[in-house]
Amino acid sequence: MKILVINAGSSSLKYQLIDMDTEEMIAKGNCERIGIQGGIFSHKTADGRKKDLQVEMASHTDAFKLVTAALTDKQVGVIKDLSEVTAIGHRVAQGGAIFSKSLFINDDVIEGIKSLIPLAPLHNGPELQGILASREIFGKDVPECVVFDTAFHSTMPKKAYMFAIPYEYYEKYKIRRYGFHGTSHRYVSARCAQLMHQPLEDINMVTCHIGNGSSLAAIHGGEVIDTSMGLTPLDGFMMGTRSGSLDPSVVTFIMEKEGLTPEQMDEILNKKSGLLGISGFSDDRDVTKAEIEGNKRAILAHEMLSYQIIKFIGSYAAAMNGLDCIVFTAGLGENQTHLRYSICRGLKFFGVKIDPVLNDKMIHGREGKISAFDSKVAVYVVPTNEELVIARDTKEIVEKLTYASTEDKTVVDLEDI
């Protein structure tokens, strides 16, 4: 079984073709600047063959045509024809209160995703375009499934996901905490439990997805009980260009003083704040370089980031009544050794002790334990693999559909999948 995993953005389309017999990527690529002049297409196979093009892509449908052409290309292709693609799995950011698990895509699911666009206009809209374009290219005979980023967080209790605003806004607009990066948190938590040789249900774990976009999740009894992102990915701690949590009056104060519209304020909080707002650099590598050179704002930015993450981990440890394990993942979590060290040093009250030698070794895709032998809390680095989670869910759904249609000859109830 070969499954094509799609992650569509407003002007991009990332893909991976995964062989589910080995669970290994056999080809991957990216379509950039869709609908914008100067389009770029890149394709790479597991054995190192590449194809890079500068090509205009007016729509996601045009992007899919490039993807399918590359997959079957004589020089860089990995399949003879598209019939070798068993199924397609899509990532969608916002499942709202409607979707709490991965599903086979039918017209009702598409309408549900469309209804959630107001909650995540920058994500659900483009991701829906990707689904519709995929259906147009592959046809309805190829099963397509969707995995929601919010689904893993759907176990949060109401006391954790509600905001203390008039209840009518929750009833009218479903304003609440949803959380994001759920597919990543789900993968690394399960993988870390395997590395620890313990059931996930027996571990109080905080998973730290730290990249340009970042979030933490508190996992107790195998389920998420709290997470740092909220209604949108803006909530939580500071990120590359996002502010994270702040006093709501800061927003109204700046808007009044500067005469800003909601759209302009949204732009500031999402794209001009965080590490960029404090240090002047959005890429952490640049922040690190500036910090080494003695730049006081860069030093402050890293101090703020570590401090905020430490506070979240501490609060989650209290919420779970204990802490057994911390997991670092994503770009910074997997590679920024100084950030991991700083965070763990700030948690020594909990008995967290990091091994500096192991910490320095655990970069560039390596996974493993970085805590010292006498640390009371285990600390791991686990590279995330969201695409594999999407492929696994898609495989499971398709196999259930195939079994149901073969054995029962009845319509499959999506609630049973």
Binding-site residue set for ATP = 14, 209-213, 283-285, 331-335
Residues annotated as binding site for Mg(2+)? 7, 386
Alpha-carbon torsion (116, 117, 122, 127), positive or negative: positive
What is the DSSP secondary-structure string of 358-403?
A: HHHHS-TT--EE-B-TT-SSEEEE----HHHHHHHHHHHHHHHHHH
Task: Tell me the catalytic residues.
Answer: 149
Neighbours of 235 (CB within 10 A): 21
Query: Beta partners for 32?
Result: 12, 40
Task: Please give the Cα distance from 247 to 385 (Å, whole number).
Answer: 34
Q: Is 30 exposed, middle or buried (0-12, 13-18, 19+ CB in 10 A)?
A: middle
Both tokens of 269, joined, read 């909080």
Q: Are 94 and 175 in contact (CB under 8 A)?
A: no
Residues in the annotated binding site: 7, 14, 91, 209-213, 283-285, 331-335, 386
Task: Name every residue whose Cβ is closer than 8 Å to that of residue 138 and which is 6 or more positions away in sequence.
Answer: 82, 85, 88, 144
Q: Coil, helix or strand for 322?
A: coil
* Measured torsion, CA atoms of residues 345, 349, 351, 353, in degrees rounded to the nearest 10: 10
d(CA 414, CA 396): 13
The answer to whether 412 and 400 are in contact (CB under 8 A) is: yes
Amino acid type, 382 = V
What's the Cα-to-Cα distance from 129 to each of 92, 117, 134, 147, rounded to whole Å? 11, 12, 8, 15
Of all residues in the chain, what percent are helix, strand and coil, respectively (each to 5)? 45, 20, 35
User: Which two three-digit tokens encode residue 372?
Assistant: 């010292």
Spell out the residues 6+ positions from residue 222 whose beta carbon is closer than 8 angstroms to its own: 199, 200, 201
CB 126 within 8 A of CB 95: no
| Contact predicate 208/310, CB 8 Å | no
Residue whose C-alpha is closest to residue 207's, from 226, 221, 191, 189: 189
